[in-house]
Amino acid sequence: MSQQTQSKPDTILFKHAPAPMWLQQGSIVIDANSRALDLFQGPGSERLIGTDITTLLSDCGQDGGDASLEALALFRDVENGNDATADWRCRKPDGSQMDLHTEMSPVDLDGQRFILIVAFDQSRLNRDREAMQTQRRQMQNFIGNFSHELRTSLFSILGFTSVLRQDEAVLDTGQFREFLSILNIETLKISSLVEDVLSLSRITTGAGVLKKRPADLIAILEELAGTMAGQATRNGVALNKKLPDGPLTLFMDPDAIKRVFFNLIDNAVQHTPMGGWIELRADADTSRSSIIVKVIDSGLGIPARDLPHVFEQFYRVERSGFTPNGYGLGLSIAKQIVDAHEGSIAIESDEGAGTTTTVVIPFSNGIDGMASLPISESVS
């Protein structure tokens, strides 16, 4: 009698077992309990029975070889009286995959040799393990980048202060100002780095209590545009602003909100090549009872595969031929702060075609008329 027409064993004790179990003769499934049917096909389906189990395996086996050949070799070993275990990646009919740990034993029923397989779905465990490994790598990269950037800035500060102390008499006014500007930039880099780490610590421990008060968002954005203009110019990038002339007052933590837009503008500057541009826009939207701020750039853009992850801690977009700056904290911190203000932050981007980051922050109370304030354009 062929495997396809082989009758099922008369006595099957695993029907109500708490784990997915099935019986095979060779590689053909001849019976399965309800948990196994649910695992492979969904409730009530019996299409697993009569299936060659090797057709459900992914192409690559445990040792990098053919999964089907590896499985058939294991089945022959079990039929010869040996127990075996295997980890399989199986395909479901809907195309999704699952990771199974299987334990196989030979079973003799009605004078026939069968293979009893007990399966454990480890898909979630494996995903969690992979996520932990990714987070560990990201943390290690962050520590390495943090140390490198801190050391580089400190060495630069030490070098230029040494020159200023020893050669002050021979430096002209232009050189003196240039050195002071460099010292200021390196100091700001260290300050920004330390602030990111402190922000991360406050977020992680839940100690970040916002100090909200009425404050003018436009004044914060104007200040940032002026502060960041020098960095943008040094990178060969034009920083434009399109902001209301009058104030837009929010009940907010001004230092935290300033951090949000510093991170967004700095990110845009870092990822916009020379000759590109950045535009900072803001206006009130009374229909949504919110203030909307956009940071738009003509930069490198973000690949579609990276967009779902950009707000994750330590996540950095890797590009061929481009070394990412930063530490993978800026966007994560920005999102945490915006969320704490009951707002939203979203990123739209096409690789090679720039990025638009939109921040929406709700009003604390009515500010009728602000949406109609005149808009002025200027270039810093």
Which of 88-92, 93-97, 267-271, 295-299 is predicted with the least confidence, judged by mean pLDDT?
Answer: 93-97
> Cβ contacts of residue 81 below 8 Å, gap of 6+?
106
Q: How many CA atoms lie within 13 A of 321 on its CB side?
A: 1
pLDDT for residue 148: 65
Q: pLDDT tens for residues 273-305?
A: 889 999 999 988 887 788 999 999 998 888 888
Identical fold between 3-121 and 124-209: no
CATH no. for 124-209 = 1.10.287.130
Q: pLDDT tens for residues 171-185?
A: 777 777 777 877 877
Angle between helices 330-340 and 254-270 in degrees, nearest 10: 150
Q: pLDDT tens for residues 190-241?
A: 777 777 777 666 665 655 567 888 889 999 999 988 888 888 888 899 999 9
CATH no. for 211-380 = 3.30.565.10
Domain boundaries, the chain: 3-121, 124-209, 211-380
pLDDT for residue 377: 37
CATH no. for 3-121 = 3.30.450.20
> Cβ contacts of residue 216 below 8 Å, gap of 6+?
247, 248, 249
**How much of the chain, in percent, has pLDDT values that exceed 70?**
77
pTM metric for this prediction: 0.54
Structure tokens at 195: 């602030």
